[in-house]
Amino acid sequence: MNSLSNKVALVTGASSGIGQAAARLFAREGAQVIVGARRQRELDLLVEEIVEAGGQAAALAGDVQEAAFAQALVELAIERFGGLDVAFNNAGTLGSMGPSTELGASDWEETIRTNLTGAFWGAQHQIRAMLKRGGGSLIFTSTVVGYTVGFPNMAAYAASKSGLIGLTQALAAEFSGRGIRVNALLPGGTDTPMGRLVASTPEALRHIEGLHALQRTASPDEIARSALYLASDASSFSTGTALLVDGGVSIHRN
């Protein structure tokens, strides 16, 4: 327990799903937590829950597409808790789904701006703060989609999330020698609001579950525990990795 004691951790996409589960877990493990997402009410309820449980947290609502929001989150971490040690860039969107030949420019750009460009703006400001602390752990939520698994009608999502793996490797090569580890987390099917958009019927859910060797999808808490591993010193020799947490979907053939 307390694997993040005396650490300051920032989590985006924290209003639901994996981000919310990670924020709770990081706080239970001793971190002072900054949470960001678009929905203020959900963030306020999360902060209230963490504080009532004896933790420390602060929230800021905004859009990760905006570099100014990335900067404001880091400034809040410094103002409230003195710096930044861990950043879990988890915010993302499924984007528009459908035939690639019918995907509009605005649909493509919206997905890329949220999933890839937003993560870059976050990392840019987070790394600057971590360098002042002598190091830290930077984590991106990617996915198996577009990496080990291809699905039709998900071109923008797959491209944006695959881009995070390249970003992870580039930043790891650039900053690991200065104490900042950079890793990507690649979940398989997970029971989140976004996941339910894909598994929108009982039949679709059974199909997706059957793609996994474990024959089920993950809970947000299961993915959060892997994020904790990358955030903590337990992964002190891991950087530049694409960590599969996918229930065996990448190796399963039925």
Q: Which backbone phi and psi does 199 adopt, to 5 degrees?
A: -90, 65
| CA proximity to 178, closest of 228, 229, 128 | 128
Strands 56-61 and 180-187 come out as unpaired
Task: Write down how long the chain is.
Answer: 254
Distance of CA 75 to the CA centre of its chain: 20
Cα separation of 38 and 15, whole Å?
A: 8
Catalytic residue (one of 26, 140, 157, 175): 157
Active-site residue flag, 157 = yes
List the one residue out of 3, 48, 10 whose CA is nearest residue 32: 10
Map 90-145 to HEC letters. Answer: CCCCCCCCCCHHHCCHHHHHHHHHHHHHHHHHHHHHHHHHHHHHCCEEEEEECCCE
* Catalytic sites, residue numbers: 157
